[in-house]
Structure 1
Amino acid sequence: MTNIKVIDAICGAGKTSYAIQMMNDFSKVGFGVDGELHTSEKKFIYVTPFLSK
């Protein structure tokens, strides 16, 4: 089953900062205790509205 996390709050509440930090945290690559290289298999879709000029 696929889990979907929706973040919704008022403007200025830090949604974008949270999303960027969360994606960066899950995207870290490094060596584990076993000495093997570990990478994240997580995938993200970031949807945001934009204002036209």
Structure 2
Amino acid sequence: MGDVLYRLTEPALRPIRRVVPTVGGLDLSPVVLLLLLYFIRLVVHWMFAQVGF
């Protein structure tokens, strides 16, 4: 199970891990990815609201 999750998430988390350092041994890249996805979702919803969908 752990190997499957690693293989699914590593392509998205690897670029973030290069930029965001670990803090006190904690990997914050999943949090950064979730915040980025949330921001993208907000932008897409705003764009559709402007168009009238």
Compute the TM-score of the two structures, normalised by the length of structure 2: 0.36
Higher relative contact order (CA 8 A, sep 6+): 2
Compute the TM-score of the two structures, normalised by the length of structure 1: 0.36
